[in-house]
Structure 1
Amino acid sequence: MAKYMLILRGTDESMAKMMSTPFEEMLETMGRFNDELIKAGVLVACEGLDDPGQGVVVDFSAETPVVTDGPYGETKELFGGFYLLDVATKEEAVEWAKRIPAMSGSKCEVRRVPAIDEFPQDNEWVVRERAWRERTGQL
C-alpha cells in the first residue's frame, strides 16, 4: 500500500459555481463520496479549504518573507482541498480521483506521498521524525 494525495484545484469559475451550490446539497454529495472511501478502507484524511480571499500568501522571493492578503495575484487555479488515500497503486488512486464529485472545470492532481522508510534511516532528522511518529501512533 502507498499513500497518494488527491489535490483538488478549481478555477475562479468552478469555485464560483461551487459557492452557488446550496451548502446542504454540497455536503450530501461530498458525504456520499467520502462514505465510499471510508467503506473501501482507503481514506486516511480529507479536508476542504476556506475561501482563498480569507487567507494570506507568504512570498519567499525576497530575503525577508513578504506576507500579503488573499490568494496569489493571478489565480488561474486555486488549491481547494485534498484527500489522502492509502491504496495499492497509482492507478487505483487515479480511479478514485476520477470519481470525485467536482465541478466542471476543476482538476485533481494525484501525487504519491513518500513513506519515511524511503529516506536514509541513519539520518539524525529521519530518526527524530520516526521517534515522533512512533510516540504519536503514526507508524
Structure 2
Amino acid sequence: MRFMIIIKADKNTEAGVMPDERLLTEMGQFNEDLVKAGIMQAGEGLHPSSRGARVKFSGNKREVIDGPFAETKELIAGFWLWQVKSKEEAIEWVKRCPNPTGAESEIEIRQIFEAEDFGAEFNPELREQEERLRAQITANQK
C-alpha cells in the first residue's frame, strides 16, 4: 500500500523560515531509517504558498490565483511517499518522526489509489496506458 504523508504548514513555514540544523539532522536520520527499511519512495519540502499559485476550474473556464493563501492550517509544507503494508504501519512510522515544526504541528496520512481500486472502469487499455506512463517516468528519472 502506498501512502502520502502530508506535513501541514504553519505560520513559520509560510513565512519561509528554514528548519534549524538540529531538525535537519533529525529529519535526515529519520529519512535514512525510512530508506533502509525500504519504505520511502520520495520526500520533499515545499516553498511557502506565497511562491505558488492555484488554478480554479469552473466548467471550461480557468482562473489563476496567486499565493499566498489565507488558511495556513490547510496548506502543505512537505510530503513523503511511502510503501508500507498497512495504514497502521504508516501511523507507527509517523509517530517516530521528529516534530516537523518543534511546536504544535500535524501530519496527515492518506492512502494513494492503486489501479485495482478503480474497478472495471479502469479497462485494459487504460491499464496499459498507466503502465506505459509509469515505465516512461521511471526511465526519465535515470
Please report the TM-score for the alignment, with normalisation by the length of structure 2. Answer: 0.78
Computed over aligned residues only, the root mean square deviation of the Cα atoms, in angstroms, reads 2.6
Larger mean CA deviation between 106-115 and 60-69 belongs to 60-69
1:84 counterpart residue number: 81
Inter-partner Cα distance in structure 2 for 1:135 and 1:67: 30
TM-score, length-normalised on structure 1? 0.79
CA contact (8 A) 2:14 2:49 kept: no
Is residue 7 from structure 1 mapped to residue 12 from structure 2 by the alignment?
no
Q: Give the structure 1 partner of residue 34 of structure 2.
A: 37
Cα distance in 2 for partners of 1:90, 1:5 equals 11
Report what 2:63 is aligned to: 66
Deviations 1:8-30 (A, max 9, x none): 11222x536982643x3342121
| Contact 1:116 1:130 (8 Å CA) reproduced | no
Q: Count how many residue pairs are aligned between Structure 1 and Structure 2.
A: 135
**In the aligned structure 1, how far is the partner of 2:117 from the partner of 2:59?**
33
- Asked if 2 retains the 8 angstrom alpha-carbon contact of 1:10 and 1:105, the reply is no
**1 or 2 for the larger relative contact order (CA 8 Å, sep ≥6)?**
1
Mind listing any 5+ residue stretches in structure 1 that lack a counterpart? none
CA distance in 2, matches of 1:75, 1:136: 32
> Identity of paired residues, percent?
36
1:90/1:62 Cα in 2 relative to 1: closer, same or farther (>3 Å)? same
Structure 2 residues not aligned, in runs of 5+: none
